[in-house]
Structure 1
């Protein structure tokens, strides 16, 4: 299952290359400061993509993002203050009488300070790094969909909650960020043939059993271990990953979310020891995919079958 991907979040290029409109209303709603709302989980590249906004609505989104960042930085500063006091107290305790409790407090405080400081540095940094475009389940990404025949870019959470499912399913079924091809006509039937999208991906990541990567059996008594592999197309290029999406409304509010379709792995992924893979579709099928005919599911399966041919190189992720 694709648990993480490095996406394209440059709105200007997405609009130009795919002839899509940016749904500013949806982005404004995502970043709105509604009462009791938590800061949306968005990659830095997605936030920073609005930095050069020229329209009044775009600039208002920038203001909303800056508001969220200011609140988060204040909370991080407070976390560093509290943990620094805890660290000092632990150091004094260890100097007086070493105990396991003090050593644990020292370790925990140090780790929390390090994490908080790293996040602060990311928020203050102006340049983008490759990891700023990486998404994980629960994180938002720009998804290309179709409305009345027009390609539109909307922000959606990477973990799909179907309209007839309760919010608690996010926890009960955490794997719903991927939609298996063999369940498209069953669990995903309310979306398959109805609401399709694509995410533009530059690379993706998979958890692979180390013994499978090394093409060997587990040794007697050996505990299985995982390794994270990054798969990149060769030569480097963007992939249009087939997705399903949903609009959910309930007491918790409104949610746009998506799942990437997965299928049997191509040769390169199987050789690395993984048994599933996201599906890149051909650019010439983009409109047919985004505007599905629910009465002709066979045509949609043919698009998934006749996928974009791509050679994938992999390496252990840092």
Structure 2
């Protein structure tokens, strides 16, 4: 599965090249959603780069929410700094396993909080600012009657008619519905496959694999050519059957059998990176001709995916 990826940093150029427009009203609604609470699941780069283009209400709502979040971080930083200092004094007087453990936890939390605060005010964007995870919001290219549109969508497709709890399994784990297996498209994904298709443009993706020691490793994959990937997706609009929660535009990335180098690295799936000449056909599917869509998959791009251990 594609557990995480990074939005193509120059995605606006790609938008222009594909003749698409940014749905700024949709991005503004996302900024305002739950009074800006979704900031936790929006890549920093999107918040920063879209600030000049969005309505003042959306920008002010997001800024107010981030100010509130920073106040909470500062309060927690004070608390954790005290915890750290207290345990440093305990260890100076007498070494105990408890104090050592508490010091380690407090130190990691202090570093994390300082990082969040520094990131809030950092103007220069870094590659990790474009990274997203399941349930985060991502720009997705779709086709509407008026033409190509880029709209923010949540990276986990919740099937229309299903309760919000369907995002998770009975054991409380997040379900794998942020990825759609090619061999299941005509079953679980039949209401989207051949009907509502999208593309996300990413530079790199991340996968969890088992390391030589049996422990989990996180690998970062990137095309050796350096070209951005056009990842085939399915999308839907979820409406709360109870009428309580706001609508959710959401999507899943389609995965196929792994490329040889990805399999050799220890992972069993790879996202489908379609060729630019197939964009029109993919975004304008004919539900009566699914063979043509599978043909797009069969003719996908095969760049060599280099990998390294993710930071």
User: Fold-level match, TM-score > 0.5?
Assistant: yes
Aligned residues: 304
Q: Does 1:243 align with 2:233?
A: yes
Shift of 1:141: 1.0
How far apart in 2 are the matches of 1:33 and 1:169? 21
Match of residue 262 from structure 1: 255
How far apart in 1 are the matches of 2:83 and 2:229? 47
Q: Does 1:76 align with 2:60?
A: no
Contact 1:149/1:291 (CA < 8 Å) preserved in 2? no
How far apart in 2 are the matches of 1:136 and 1:192? 23
How far apart in 1 are the matches of 2:256 and 2:66? 38
Shift of 1:269: 1.7
Q: Deviations over 1:36-81 (max 9, x none)?
A: 955441111111111443xxx4444333332232122111111101
Shift of 1:236: 0.7
Which stretch of the first structure deviates more once superposed, 11-20 or 67-76? 11-20
Counterpart among 294, 297, 300 of residue 301 in structure 1: 294
How far apart in 2 are the matches of 1:256 and 1:105? 42
Which stretch of the first structure deviates more once superposed, 267-276 or 138-147? 267-276
How far apart in 2 are the matches of 1:102 and 1:271? 43
Contact 1:10/1:46 (CA < 8 Å) preserved in 2? no
TM norm structure 2? 0.90
Which stretch of the first structure deviates more once superposed, 111-120 or 26-35? 26-35
Q: Deviations over 1:251-285 (max 9, x none)?
A: 33221111110001122222323211000111111
How far apart in 2 are the matches of 1:26 and 1:256? 10
SS in 1 for 2:85: helix
Match of residue 31 from structure 1: 31
Match of residue 215 from structure 2: 225
TM norm structure 1? 0.88
How far apart in 2 are the matches of 1:267 and 1:98? 51
Shift of 1:196: 0.7
Match of residue 178 from structure 2: 177
How far apart in 1 are the matches of 2:151 and 2:9? 11
* Unpaired runs of at least 5, structure 1: 212-222
Q: Does 1:151 align with 2:148?
A: yes
How far apart in 1 are the matches of 2:146 and 2:210? 43
In the superposition, relative to structure 1, how do residues 72 and 266 fare at CA in structure 2: closer, same or farther (>3 Å)? Answer: same
Contact 1:9/1:49 (CA < 8 Å) preserved in 2? no
How far apart in 1 are the matches of 2:220 and 2:273? 16
* Unpaired runs of at least 5, structure 2: none
> Over the residues paired in the alignment, what is the CA RMSD in angstroms?
2.1
How far apart in 2 are the matches of 1:183 and 1:150? 29
Contact 1:209/1:224 (CA < 8 Å) preserved in 2? yes
Counterpart among 97, 108, 119 of residue 105 in structure 2: 108
Match of residue 47 from structure 1: 47
Shift of 1:95: 4.3
